[in-house]
Structure 1
Amino acid sequence: MSFDAFFSTSICYGAGAPDAGWTLALPITLPLAAIALIYALGAARLWRRSGRGRPERLRQALLFAAGWSGLTVALVSPIHALGERVFSAHMIEHELLMAVAAPLLVASCPGAALMWALPATLRRGTGSLTHGRTVQAVWALAARPLGATVLHGIAIWVWHIPALFEAALQQGVLHYAQHASFLGTALLFWWVLLPRSWQQKTYGISVMHLFFTSLHTGLLGVLLLVSPKLWYPENGSGAALWSLSPIEDQQLAGLVMWVPAGLIYGGAALLLAGLWVSNSGTREATHALRPG
């Protein structure tokens, strides 16, 4: 078996072409299964120690399960196999990774559960590693709102350059590198912007960067929607499977990026803006009630 074949192995069920197949490539299924098992082990250990914190642990576990399911649907279900020949399916797969699975996983705060799955010696070693000067310096730069937003935006726009996008379709390694960069930068983006404290500054910055991201991803979607030229002819070769012409397939893909994905980024910004305003009102009321 060739190296690329190893990265693209899929098993198909039912009558029909490989387009209906479930992708069971080991570079996908093994990490997904390992992450689920590690999280389950760590969450179980935390559950036994939580006491009154169990409702919060349950909420986090449900969010993690939803995010992990989003990853599985994107990378293992027939959407992934179809995405190699139907551009709109490929776009749905990307948005599931970046705008559905990533924020759900971040909102689940999985770090504690993943750490508690490790033996005590490994937990201590991991803690020491993350406190190294080089790691801290790189993290301090990447984990700023501007840095995370720029990295996420670069990943989205660079991988949609036609030559690079179609090269990823041809080579399994590049294809998985594309998905890894989409998911990795999305996890960083949502981790930085979803607030973990009631700081007005945090909310304001998050709202700004979420709106900016909804605008630039929406712009890319509109360009795909209105373009009279096919950007990725090879990725539209199976458009007829969805009863679409190749240009209609591209238009649908642009619409997916513009509207549903834009609504998620924009909706998150509006939600945080509402919390920001509500929190500001609460702070002002509390300050007014204090004796002068």
Structure 2
Amino acid sequence: MSFDSLFSTSLCYGALGPEAGWTFMVPIVFPLVAFASLYIVGTVRIWRRSRRARLLRFRKALLFVCGWVALVAALVSPIHALGERLFSAHMIEHELLMAVAAPLVIASCPAAPMIWALPMRLRQALRAAGHIRVLGTIWTCVSRPVAATILHGVAIWAWHVPALFEAALQQGPLHYAQHASFFGTGLLFWRALLPGPSRGDACGSAVMHLFLTSLHTGLLGALLVVSPRLWYPENAIGSSLWGLAPLEDQQLAGLVMWIPAGLIYGGAALFLAGLWIRASARVQLRVIDLGAGISTDVSP
């Protein structure tokens, strides 16, 4: 089997109707298994070295499992196969990658256990690569909230250009590149915005970027809903098997992007806004306490 046929076979498997099956192909399953294996091995090693870290790591492991299950649902379950002939299923697949799996994986902090899972020499090589100035500069630039938000937005809008979207449907490698860019920029986006131990003061900026992302993705979804013409005819050839007209399938896909995905971005913005308000209140209380202490010290 050639490289191209491997991709095309994995894209066509069981994608014709309600009986669509699971997609067990090497280009999909191997990265998922490798990803989970590295995380499990690294987590076990961390648990063995520090008992006090077990409770925190267990909570993060639950987040990772939820994120990994979302990836399986998007890429292996019948949703993936249906997405080749049903645009609304294709949109559900994309939102699972960007708005569900990506934030859950980032919240699980997978970098530490995955690095611990690697052999010592490879860990040392990665540590040395981290000190390369060019790589460090590139990472600093792309991991900033503004850059991450722009890259994520560009990936979303670019892949929804009709010519590029339908080219991805017809060419396996392009389709995998589409999924990789959605998930990869989603990881970058959520990593830049979700608060960390040393980034509690960045919640205000994160709220703004989440709000902007919710706006432009909602706009794209609304355009799909109200458009009188079909954007992706090739992705709607199986809609009749589900009792939908092609335009109804497109409208349903637009609603998925507009409302459920918008609620996720908006909910995350509200959560971070709450953290921001709480952190601001703590700062104000410290200032008040400090002022009261100074007044007591200088009083006669």
With normalisation by structure 2, the TM-score equals: 0.93
Question: What do the CA deviations read for 1:119-173 (whole angstroms, capped 9, x no partner)?
Answer: 2221111111122111111111101111000000000000000000000000000
The 5 Å alignment of 1:1-292 reads 1-10=1-10, 20-197=20-197, 199=199, 201-290=201-290, 291-292=293-294
Q: How far off its partner does 1:198 sit?
A: 6.0
Q: How far off its partner does 1:17 sit?
A: 5.5
User: Which segment drifts farther, 34-43 or 97-106?
Assistant: 34-43
Q: Distance in 1 between matches of 2:247 and 2:211?
A: 29
SS for the counterpart of 2:197 is coil
Contact 1:12–1:18 under 8 Å retained in 2: no
Question: CA 1:57–1:31 in structure 2 vs 1: closer, same or farther (change >3 Å)?
Answer: same
Question: CA 1:45–1:269 in structure 2 vs 1: closer, same or farther (change >3 Å)?
Answer: same
SS for the counterpart of 1:231 is coil
Q: How far off its partner does 1:20 sit?
A: 1.0
SS for the counterpart of 2:228 is coil
User: Which segment drifts farther, 198-207 or 241-250?
Assistant: 198-207
The residue identity in structure 2 corresponding to 1:115 is I
Contact 2:71–2:96 under 8 Å retained in 1: yes
Contact 2:224–2:254 under 8 Å retained in 1: yes
Identity of aligned residues (%): 62
SS for the counterpart of 1:51 is coil
User: Which segment drifts farther, 276-285 or 57-66?
Assistant: 276-285
Q: How far off its partner does 1:283 sit?
A: 1.7
Question: What do the CA deviations read for 1:226-268 (whole angstroms, capped 9, x no partner)?
Answer: 0010000110111123221100000000000000000111110
Structure number with larger C-alpha Rg: 2
Q: How far off its partner does 1:52 sit?
A: 1.6
Structure 2: unaligned runs, 5 residues or longer: 295-300
Q: Distance in 2 between matches of 1:243 and 1:249?
A: 9
Moved >2 Å (runs of 4+): 1-5, 8-13, 16-19, 197-201
SS for the counterpart of 1:74 is helix
With normalisation by structure 1, the TM-score equals: 0.95
Contact 1:9–1:23 under 8 Å retained in 2: no
| RMSD over equivalenced CA pairs, Å | 1.6
Contact 1:19–1:82 under 8 Å retained in 2: no
